Amino acid sequence: MAEWEIAMRRHRWLRLISSFVLTALSLNACIFSVEVLSTPTPPPTESSLPPAATQTLIPFTLIPPTITPTLISIRDNTLYMLEIFMNIGEGEVLRSAAFTPDSAVLATAAGNNEDFTIRLRDVASGQSIGRLDGHTGIVWDVAFSPDGQMLVSVSSDATAKIWDWQNGTLHQSLDLPGEVVSVSFSPDGQILAVGGVDQPLGDLQNAAIWTFFVDSWNPLLKFPEYWNITAMAYSPDGRFLIGGGTSRNVQIWRTSDGTSLFTLNHPHQVLDAAVSPDGSTVTTATCQNTLNDECTEGAVWLWNLSNGRLIDKLRHFPDVVESVIFSVDGSSLIAASHDGTLRVYATVDYQPLFEATPPGGNGVMALSPDGGLLASGGANGAVHLWKVVYRP
């Protein structure tokens, strides 16, 4: 048996143990401001195309597990204990990040215009466990399947690649008409959606979201838009697909037949979108005001998913807002702007509860499925890992 196969089997066995635990490493000296805007009572700890298949072996480093207390979820009444506990990686420009469903591994798409590698890291230690190489253009987005078996990456090389990341092999490659920048699985894991540039029509650049059956990778539906798809999200029940962004519009489509139900109009481009866990609210990350083509004020816009009406605008970010995420329990909305400002709102009234300005942030974020970890872009290309630290 090859040495890497033995290492991979041992790594899988160790992950069965380490998925329940995460090591708490001390953060190197890091100066940034954190403003806690309310201080609640401390909570207790919570217990359509054929494949062009190739194979790429990836080296793995075994990471011994460390037993630590169960993580506390990031939510409205734990924010005052939220802090950075580890920095991982360096020298990379973070463009996307995703956690495995068990929150044990973090995949990142980063690098410069010549680095198209997807890196895999053990969350407990921050150590590299492998890399996936095969793209020939910038990797813009990554997503794990709900069952954790697949990792999908989309790139400016006009492909969406489906990886058996645990074995380091390319399972499938889907060829698209142009650059692809966003990817998402449906909540039930049966459909893959990829968004990007479509064939041009005259002087107008078309864009679209294409959906594929996961079991066969055959195409399902095409959702037409314009320019590019920088923002995309499924509703929790899978009935609606939200997408758009570069055209300044975001559409709400019905996934059963591709009908566009509402168009959410913005004055500037939209970089991200998220749907609340209860399926009632759509949030869009955008710029509110510009001067000489530079964003001078970022904002998060809130929309009613059932009727497409604007509810509110959360303004006064120093730069364009790049990422929006709801906490797992829906009690909080986390937003990050391009300058690195991280702000969290209570969804009961959308009042700010927490703000931080870690050095070198770039507005890219990912929340672990268990709600206990937040990854954000950091200084010198590092990834900040945040968690709730309870100190009685």
Residue 332 confidence (pLDDT) above 90: yes
Q: Of 371 and 201, which is predicted with more confidence? A: 371
Structure tokens at 193: 């959606």
Beta bridge partners of 153: 142, 161
pLDDT of residue 203: 63
Span 58-67, average pLDDT: 39
pLDDT of residue 61: 42
- In terms of Cα–Cα distance, which of 255, 297, 296 is closest to 275? 255
Span 350-355, average pLDDT: 96
On whether the CB atoms of residues 56 and 360 are closer than 8 A, the answer is no
Predicted confidence (pLDDT) per residue in 183-219, tens digit: 999 999 999 999 999 986 666 689 999 999 999 999 9
CATH superfamily placement of domain 3-45+54-388 = YVTN repeat-like/Quinoprotein amine dehydrogenase (2.130.10.10)
Residue 66 confidence (pLDDT) above 80: no
Indicate the range of 37-41, 109-113, 290-294, 316-320 predicted with least confidence.
37-41
pLDDT of residue 292: 92
Indicate the range of 62-76, 87-101, 123-137, 342-356 predicted with least confidence.
62-76
On whether the CB atoms of residues 322 and 311 are closer than 8 A, the answer is no
Q: Of 68 and 390, which is predicted with more confidence? A: 390
Residue 48 confidence (pLDDT) above 60: no
pLDDT-derived band of residue 7, with 50, 70 and 90 as boundaries? Answer: very low
pLDDT of residue 201: 64
pLDDT of residue 218: 97
Span 161-183, average pLDDT: 95
Burial class (CB in 10 A: 0-12, 13-18, 19+), 392: exposed
Residue 47 confidence (pLDDT) above 60: no
Predicted confidence (pLDDT) per residue in 263-276, tens digit: 999 999 999 999 99
- Predicted TM-score (pTM) of the model is 0.83
Span 100-117, average pLDDT: 87
CA dist., res. 205 & res. 202, Å (int): 8
Residue 320 confidence (pLDDT) above 80: yes
The residue ranges of every structural domain in the chain are 3-45+54-388
Q: Is 175 helix (H, G, I), strand (E, B) or coil?
A: strand
CA dist., res. 43 & res. 316, Å (int): 31
Span 69-90, average pLDDT: 89
15: DSSP letter: H
Q: Of 13 and 225, which is predicted with more confidence? A: 225
